[in-house]
Structure 1
Amino acid sequence: MTSATDPRFAEALTASGPTPDYPVRMSRFGQLVGSWSAKGSRLDEATGEWHEREFTWIAEFILDGRAVQDVEVVASDTHPSGFETVATAVRVYDPHAGVWRVSYFAPTMGEYCNLIATAWRHGIRQDGTRTDGRAIRWNFTGITEDSYTWEGWLSDDEGVTWHLIERNEGTRIR
């Protein structure tokens, strides 16, 4: 097995824009395509303490413009590239169901989540299940050309009540 990267992989994965088959539907997450400087806080459930964090969030069209993939990267002095990829999410529009199917992967944290995304108020709501089986709700709100707010909610009682466990605000870089 060789470790050489086939340069066609990135070209085959990424797309220059949304599919022309359903451009309005693709704008739901397509409006977030670009690079973002993000600041936020995350609750440590074990200690009850909030921890501040900064990261870069990069989103691009993939799969011939039928999906949007994002990566969360943080600066790293130990990684040869100067950054470490913390997580990725693939958001694929399902034209038969009229929803977005979201799969999120954060291997270093042991989180693998599946969600369904729909329009919500003036933003996007993503409902699903965390790796531990608890219900999650991720909301994008306040989306503009240059900023967004994202909140992560968790339910311990199958969606009867919710508590905030993460909040991020992004500012467009590109």
Structure 2
Amino acid sequence: MRDQPTEIGLRIAKLRSELRLSRERFGEPLGIKGTKVQDIERGRQKPTADVLAQIQDCYRPNPKWLLEGVGEIFLAPGQEPAEVMEPRAWLYSAKKAVRDPVMQARAGGKLERYKTAERLVAELLDTAELKPNPLLHESLKMLAFEGAKTETLMLLLRGVTEQVRIGETK
């Protein structure tokens, strides 16, 4: 029996093709293997809400096109997904943003590198005496994980601290 590709599976295949990525390369930042991308494209599996949200985060397709097949494949430069589709209709949450980088590091066999980035950020935050929200904390860890220099992270922290200070005085 042959697989019947789903509409969303076909759109994901088209997006991947437009980006000129192999299934492996497309799935890497999503924390999934190329075989799973193939299964989604061919209709053997449906993409989870998390996978769809990660596709939106990583590749920035038009969410209305991705979910419904309406409009252009990609958002216009400077256009945000919320301008095309209501945010609650999309699949974001702070909890997901905090959880996904660890899952991606595990999937890529880079958990030790992620833990090193985590330690570096913890030391920087102690030095800066700053308690960021979970999303900022995770963002700093991902920057460190991706190889951002300590000086860059400190500069970013100083900017955030200054912004917070300005917000408190208003």
TM-score by length of 1: 0.23
Pick the structure with more strand per residue: 1
State the structure with more CA Rg: 2
TM-score by length of 2: 0.23
